[in-house]
Amino acid sequence: MKKKLLFLGPPGAGKGTQANLFCKKYGLDHLSTGDLLRDEVSSGSDLGMQAAEVMNKGELVSDDLVLSIVEGRLAKTNTGWLLDGFPRNVNQANALKRLLEKINQPLEGVILIKIDDDYLINRLLERGRQDDNKQVIINRLKIYREKTSPLIDLYAKQGILDVIEGNAEIDVVFSCIEKALGG
Ligand code: B4P
């Protein structure tokens, strides 16, 4: 089973849901930039307050802040890791590449969870997190298309990308991911 992983996909595709299950079963360190940023927001720090403003508009938080969070966490893991929600643009992908070279831990697999916009919007509206209202969701999808989706090609060219259909029961999606990663 591959143990240095990245999950890509539009907002609400189920990256967090699947990453949680996967890391529990295989003992990987789950590194969700969305969760880490929400922790920062809950702490009430200045950085958290700045991040909340950006997240509530559905925009991307600054690369510098996200990178410093990821760098600190990746350096500490030794059981394998799963990046969830990072990288989200080409600059973050380039920074990740440099970081992984530095710590000599090459990326082994990328999972793209693919799903139609209509399903996503309904799922997120049902979840109802602070950044889950229709206008913000539409902005998040637009940003995903503009900034994050170019990464699909980048990882496909490296031959490490598998595409999984996200519009299915959670356990069905999970089995497809396991199979793709060699389980
Ligand atoms: P994230 O926390 O990464 O959240 P997400 O993309 O909205 O959701 P995810 O795909 O993980 O969906 P989930 O499993 O929860 O990002 C939030 C914000 O943080 C961003 O907009 C940005 O501002 C900021 N941010 C994060 N990372 C950043 C970075 N690297 N750089 C800059 N900014 C960053 O599933 C969603 C819902 O669907 C849940 O309710 C779940 O129960 C349900 N669901 C999941 N799978 C299902 C299935 N198979 N069937 C039915 N329902 C399902």
Radius of gyration of the chain (CA): 16
CA distances from 51 to 40, 48, 69 (A): 8, 5, 13
Q: What is the CATH number of the domain that holds 87?
A: 3.40.50.300
Reported as a single tens digit per residue, the pLDDT across 77-87 is 878 999 999 99
Q: Is the CB of 30 under 6 A from ligand 1?
A: no
pLDDT band, residue 17 (cuts 50/70/90): very high
Q: Is the CB of 123 under 6 A from ligand 1?
A: yes
pLDDT band, residue 8 (cuts 50/70/90): very high
Q: Is the CB of 66 under 6 A from ligand 1?
A: yes
Joined tokens for residue 159: 């031959």
* Minimum-distance ligand 1 atom for the alpha carbon of 170: 49
H and E: helices and strands count for the chain: 9, 5
Domain assignment of residue 119, given as a range = 4-180
* Minimum-distance ligand 1 atom for the alpha carbon of 85: 3
pLDDT band, residue 73 (cuts 50/70/90): confident
Instruction: Count the alpha carbons within 13 Å of 135 in the hemisphere toward its beta carbon.
Output: 2
Q: What burial class does residue 61 get, using C-beta atoms within 10 Å of its C-beta: 0-12 exposed, 13-18 middle, 19+ buried?
A: buried
* Structure confidence at residue 79 (pLDDT): 84
Reported as a single tens digit per residue, the pLDDT across 129-152 is 999 999 999 999 999 999 999 999
Total domains in the fold of the chain: 1
Contact 19, 124 (CB under 8 A): no
125-156 burial, b at 16+ Cβ within 10 Å, e below that, comes to eeeeeebbeeebbeebbebbeebbeebbeebe
Q: Is the CB of 9 under 6 A from ligand 1?
A: yes
pTM of this prediction?
A: 0.94
Say how many Å lie between the CA of residue 12 and the centre of ligand 1. Answer: 5
Say how many Å lie between the CA of residue 129 and the centre of ligand 1. Answer: 10
Contact 88, 32 (CB under 8 A): no
